[in-house]
Amino acid sequence: VPVITPDPATSTVVVTAQAIVPTPFATFFGFKTMTVPVTSTVSFDAKDLEVGMSLDITGSMLDPASPTDMTSKINSLKAAFEKFATTLIPETQQVGRKVRLGVMPYAPSVNLGKYAAAASQGKSTDGCIVERTTLAYNDLTPNSGGAFYPNTKQFCPNSELMPLTDDRDALIKHVKTFNAKGGTAGHLGIQWAWNIIAEDYASFWGGSAAPSPYALTTGAKPQLVKAVIVMTDGQFNTSTWGPSSETQALAMCTQIKKKGVLVFTVGFGLGTSAAELQAKKMLQDCATPGAQYFADATNANQLNAALQSFAAVLGKLRVSQ
């Protein structure tokens, strides 16, 4: 039985086994075989990982995903997120490498907490903002791309954004506080999930939450994977300025993918009504092409499976042998 010893600090896996080999020249002495230790070392390059998640906390998330589910969709999301974060973020980070995750809950507006003043150039009074009307569909900070409008027309959720962190316990604890209410401004969730990992926002978030440059995701030996995950249980139906939420969302998804950022999407509890089918199509169009980037989860178990699948894809992309 081989002994397998991974060493995250040196990016190696050492496999030690015992091999039995014939000894034709030693049979005179009564030795027909000899046990020889065999050791093999495999090295791998582990990349950094930055993921921004857009999580639906609208009023419909209080409903069960299906008639057979006993819990609300919001509670199912919390449970699935806990498993996802535990899978994605290693208990012990590899020396010199970072796996970080940030979350943006959204309803009719998004709550940026202490970051709202900078995003709205001091005009937000409740911590919430909505879309900006100039230079939209980009990842430029408010200083270079125009301020985001303060929330004056929509309900302001009390569940706040959390920027990039490798503290999975803090992330799990934060998501467990989410509550659901209001309409679905999914484009705002996508915008700020993108901003969480956007290079231009390094000084906006600051410190350990600062995203790394896009350039690290390219080249012969990329050092970084960036991704956005979008989750919703319904059609994007709320916008404050500009075109529909769906139109704005798709425009942003197009620009996100042009930056080399992977986009994963999952619909949760979506049925077969015209609006729900449209929501599924929007999610598929938003996602990076490929079956592994979109999931249609009809119940809590499937939502958990979808997020675990996304974590597996990201894990494989992180490590190249």
Q: Helix 168-175 vs helix 73-88: angle between axes, to the nearest 10 degrees?
A: 180
Report the distance separating Cα 108 and Cα 269, nearest Å: 20
For residues 192 and 112, the answer to whether their CB atoms sit within 8 Å is yes
Handedness of CA 57, 63, 67, 71 (dihedral sign): positive
What is the model's pLDDT at position 284? 98
Confidence check: pLDDT of 299 > 70 = yes
**What pLDDT digit, counting tens, does each position of 25-67 carry?**
555 556 677 777 787 766 556 899 999 999 999 999 999 998 8
Confidence of residue 91 (pLDDT cuts 50, 70, 90): confident
pLDDT score recorded for residue 94:
67
pLDDT band at 167 (very low <50, low <70, confident <90, very high): very high
* pLDDT tens-place string over residues 228-284: 999 999 999 999 998 999 999 999 999 999 999 999 999 999 999 999 999 999 999
Mean pLDDT of 147-157: 96
Tell whether pTM > 0.85. Answer: yes
pLDDT tens for each residue of 215-227: 999 998 899 999 9
Higher pLDDT, 306 or 24: 306
> What is the structure's pLDDT at 112?
98
**DSSP per-residue string spanning 27-79:** GGGT--EEEEEEEEEEE-EEPEEEEEEEEE-SGGGGSBSSTT--SBHHHHHHH
